[in-house]
């Protein structure tokens, strides 16, 4: 898609959505990216790695020489496509379906990754759920719980299970959001979880400094992923990202290099407790 993209065609689909049903398809396969062994023989676990940002990150990691496990909910077709690209890059892959909003499955994902690859060098906590609402009073306790269990509890549960299998030099990258930095009146619960992810990142980075495990976050602006048509109205999807200074939403391929930067010690060995915010030209104070 060209940088001067126009509005997306109005569209919706059931959550969690699929890239194959999106028009246009997101650029999430890192087709133009050329790796240089920055992650040679590392083992990565990427939650939400079936599509969108997670797919681009998983493929980018593979192109840099890592074996990659992806965890996802139920988007089997998307997961198979991501696995195919990982294998085409000459690396091993593992796809694990199931609900990461439960502690038991979070532990199972880590156990299966370690059983296959023996360790975890890079952990990317990336899954997310949102449900736009116009008023706080419209957010049910059920929705609040689902958003928090998906967006922040899973980060805690997966990280807690993974840490015993991560050694000195390992890295953790958490997906936050512009909405965690400046809020969003129609995504109050989602924004609250993204703010929590930032605080979790800062605090965990401090806690793991002595272990020499780095912890950072990426906080993107609007990105064209299945989360958008599967949680927004057709009208909001049509106008998605056009309010940004660049006049468009990002593609996943444009966001994934931030994760590669944080994952590769040759690039970011002095970075921990930091946030990269690819937000399309919006500037924030502080």
Question: Would you please indicate which residues are annotated as catalytic (active-site) residues?
Answer: 190
| Contact of 277 with 220, CB cutoff 8 Å | yes
Displacement of CA 55 from its chain's centroid (Å) = 9
Q: Which two tokens stand for residue 259?
A: 């994760």
CB atoms within 10 A of CB 139: 15
| Contact of 219 with 230, CB cutoff 8 Å | no
Residue 222's nearest CA partner among 182, 170, 168 is 182
Residue 251's nearest CA partner among 22, 3, 14 is 3
Q: Give CA–CA dist 224/60, Å, rounded.
A: 18
């Amino acid at each position: 898609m060209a940088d001067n993209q126009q509005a997306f065609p109005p569209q919706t689909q059931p959550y969690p959505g699929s890239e194959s049903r999106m028009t246009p398809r997101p650029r999430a396969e890192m087709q133009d990216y050329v790796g240089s062994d920055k992650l040679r023989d590392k083992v990565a676990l990427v939650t939400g790695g079936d599509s969108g940002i997670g797919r681009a990150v998983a493929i980018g990691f593979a192109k840099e020489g890592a074996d990659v496990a992806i965890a996802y909910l139920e988007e089997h077709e998307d997961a198979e496509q991501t696995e195919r690209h990982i294998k085409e890059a000459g690396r091993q892959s593992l796809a694990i379906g199931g609900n990461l909003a439960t502690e038991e499955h979070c532990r199972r994902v880590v156990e299966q990754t370690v059983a296959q690859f023996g360790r975890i060098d890079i952990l990317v906590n990336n899954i997310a759920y949102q449900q736009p609402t116009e008023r706080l009073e419209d957010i049910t306790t059920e929705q609040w719980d689902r958003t928090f269990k998906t967006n922040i509890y899973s980060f805690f549960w997966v990280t807690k299970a993974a840490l015993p299998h991560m050694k000195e030099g390992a890295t953790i990258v958490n997906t936050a959001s512009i909405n965690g930095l400046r809020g969003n009146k129609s995504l109050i619960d989602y924004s609250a979880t993204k703010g929590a992810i930032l605080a979790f990142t800062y605090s965990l980075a401090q806690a793991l400094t002595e272990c020499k495990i780095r912890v950072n976050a990426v906080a993107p602006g609007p990105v064209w992923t299945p989360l958008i048509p599967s949680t927004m109205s057709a009208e909001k999807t049509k106008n998605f990202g056009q309010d940004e200074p660049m006049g468009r939403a990002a593609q996943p391929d444009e966001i994934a290099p931030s994760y590669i930067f944080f994952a590769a010690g040759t690039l970011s060995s002095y970075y921990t407790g930091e946030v990269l915010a690819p937000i399309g030209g919006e500037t924030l104070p502080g």
